[in-house]
Structure 1
Amino acid sequence: MVIKEMVHITPYHLDRMLHIYLPDDYEESEARYPVMYMYDGHNLFYNEDATYGKSWGLQEFMRQWENQLIIVGIECNHEGNKRLEEFSPYDFKDFDGQRIHGTGKVFMQWVVDELKPLIDTHFRTKPEREYTGIGGSSMGGLMAYYTVVAHNDVFSKAACISSAVGFCYDAMREELTSAGPLLPDTRVYMSWGSKESGRKPGLVKYTCTNLEFSHLLVERGAVTYPYLQAFGGHCEADWEKQNAIYMPFLWNGVFEDGME
């Protein structure tokens, strides 16, 4: 089941909707669950909530998957360029050359300091690092890259899907190269679609960037899964097709059945 709850983002002085998936037997069970925090929560579960009328279909996937966890989807700020600001740890220029002041570091500090403790208090979670993941697409994928490195003591796994790394390549690369060793069993799924970058030179550049980031993460002790989605576009319909890839990879070994 999916519930919606409003939460206050203290540093922005704004309220924001959370889209929270709970296992269907949550009310009858006493079990505690791992938690996956995800950006653009309105796009995760229901087509009617999704910005472009198509969701990731995550509720349907979770209902048929053999393992269960709680998913906390954080809705974005829909006002102007606020989503770009909140979901970037760094300043950058957008496609129109407009300067964007990234406040993603502030946003993630709020998630760590306020949102996660709130979720752990109100729901039966497994709060430890090994049971906590982060994920997103586009700007959310960029944030997932940043988060698993900058807050590696809190998040052990990240899904970086169709990440908007081109906006902030130099800053993100510096973040990775300056990072110390990552904690054990840090797992990072990174994907990009062959139809996202237009012509072949764009695809080559996007591929090289993700593979470079994968190499830097592996050097620091992470386990990575770089995935080029053939004919994949920058859209929820293609990200939905990856649910059955990134979820088993990220949560491998966490559940009692020791899934592969």
Structure 2
Amino acid sequence: MYKKILFLFISVCSFAQEIMMKEIKSEHFLGKIQRVENFPSNYVKPRNVDVWLPENYSPEKKYSVLYMHDGQMLFDATTTWNKQEWQVDDVVTKLVAENKIEDVIVVGVWNIPTIRHLDLFPQKAFDLLPKQEKEKMIEQAKAINLDLTKINSDNYLKFIVEEVKPFVDKQFSTYSDAAHTAVMGSSMGGLISMYAICEYPEIFSKAACLSTHWIGLKDVENNPMPNAFFTYMQKKLPNPDTHKIYFDFGTETLDAFYVKYEDNVNQILAEKGFTEKNAKNLKFEGTDHSENSWQKRIHIPLEFMFGK
């Protein structure tokens, strides 16, 4: 019995040691970041998780929480692969100072490039494909060294909902209810944000999906994946009375492939009872598929989700 108790104590202590935060400050972003390196998980490969706090963060008040994908691209262009960033810290700080949005902290979940697509590809939408179409997609993916039989998005969402969120709510002064919890991402991050609010409407009441990658892999003739995503949305979009969802798209580079699905998205939102009050699908003419483009417009979904 003593050995079992000792083993349990050591296990708990070891886990606690793993969930250690490191404070990151830099002249390249406002506020500060509390980083958990290689956040341990029972569901996904460990990866960094950043919790951005505003400069005037105080445990004496409560904060809404925005969960964002591709966390390493959010705050500091000097460390990103393409030297671009969302500038989330600047935009949130400005909007709060102007009293346009409520107080927000941002949780940036880093991606792992080699498995990003598998983590963010909505599993249940893929499973809606007929067997022949699914096999065809799997073969197409092999050409770009991607194994779609290993889609892990359900576990990725469990990682956020069951492991990251409880940790954040315990460590920081947050509103833990769905009304104050949102999720946002771009491209594949847009798909997984849509998937998150559909799979966990009791956790997320708001989702922002920028440049949503409706084509799944690449734009090919008779691509079955967009319709699979739309069928999934028709079945699973949450109650519009208690949820908000934002979509957008540009018209250049990869975003050009999304334009033809504009009407499909609008139709589904209308059929599910969403109006301009709780849903948007905005077109940004002349903008491309990049952090620079998303940075210029993130104030719009931020105000839509957290506006006063």
| Superposition TM-score tier, normalisation by shorter sequence | 0.7 to 0.9
Partner of 1:48: 78
1:248-259 → structure 2 map (5 Å cutoff): 248-252=303-307, 259=308
* Partners of 2:269 and 2:275 within 8 A in 1: no
Alpha-carbon offset, residue 224 of structure 1: 0.5
Alpha-carbon offset, residue 71 of structure 1: 0.4
1:176 is aligned to 2:209: no
1:216-255 → structure 2 map (5 Å cutoff): 216-218=271-273, 223-252=278-307
Alpha-carbon offset, residue 208 of structure 1: 3.0
Partner of 1:151: 200
Alpha-carbon offset, residue 22 of structure 1: 0.7
Aligned length: 247
* Partners of 2:240 and 2:274 within 8 A in 1: no
* Partners of 1:217 and 1:224 within 8 A in 2: no
Distance 1:65 1:133, change over 3 A: same
Identify the range of structure 1 (49-58 vs 128-137) with the bigger mean alpha-carbon deviation.
49-58
Identify the range of structure 1 (129-138 vs 85-94) with the bigger mean alpha-carbon deviation.
85-94
Q: Deviations over 1:183-233 (max 9, x none)?
A: 63311110000114576xx45423234324433543599820111011110
Partner of 2:121: 88
SS in 2 for 1:73: strand
1:62 to 92, 95, 106: 92
SS in 2 for 1:9: coil
Q: Which amino acid counterpart does residue 8 of structure 1 have in structure 2?
A: P
Q: Deviations over 1:88-115 (max 9, x none)?
A: 1235554946542321111102211111
1:38 is aligned to 2:71: no
1:116 is aligned to 2:165: yes
Partner of 1:141: 190
Identify the range of structure 1 (179-188 vs 218-227) with the bigger mean alpha-carbon deviation.
218-227
Aligned equivalents of 1:198, 1:62: Cα separation in 2: 25
* Partners of 2:208 and 2:245 within 8 A in 1: yes
Aligned equivalents of 1:2, 1:193: Cα separation in 2: 31
* Partners of 2:53 and 2:105 within 8 A in 1: yes
* Partners of 2:215 and 2:258 within 8 A in 1: no
* Partners of 1:42 and 1:51 within 8 A in 2: no
Alpha-carbon offset, residue 21 of structure 1: 1.2
* Partners of 1:162 and 1:193 within 8 A in 2: yes
SS in 2 for 1:86: helix
Structure 2 gap segments, 5+ residues each: 1-30, 127-136, 217-224
Aligned equivalents of 2:255, 2:77: Cα separation in 1: 26
Q: Which amino acid counterpart does residue 128 of structure 1 have in structure 2?
A: D
Aligned equivalents of 1:11, 1:130: Cα separation in 2: 26
Percent identity reads: 23
Structure 1 gap segments, 5+ residues each: 253-258
Q: CA-atom RMSD, angstroms? A: 2.4
Alpha-carbon offset, residue 244 of structure 1: 1.5
* Partners of 2:54 and 2:89 within 8 A in 1: no
Partner of 1:255: none
Q: Which has the larger radius of gyration?
A: 2
Q: Deviations over 1:146-190 (max 9, x none)?
A: 111111111000010001121142332232222275263311110
TM-score (norm. length: structure 1): 0.86
Alpha-carbon offset, residue 236 of structure 1: 0.2
Distance 1:10 1:239, change over 3 A: same
* Partners of 2:237 and 2:272 within 8 A in 1: no
Aligned equivalents of 2:50, 2:283: Cα separation in 1: 28
Distance 1:111 1:198, change over 3 A: closer
Aligned equivalents of 1:212, 1:30: Cα separation in 2: 44
Aligned equivalents of 1:175, 1:83: Cα separation in 2: 21
Aligned equivalents of 1:191, 1:221: Cα separation in 2: 13
Distance 1:109 1:62, change over 3 A: same
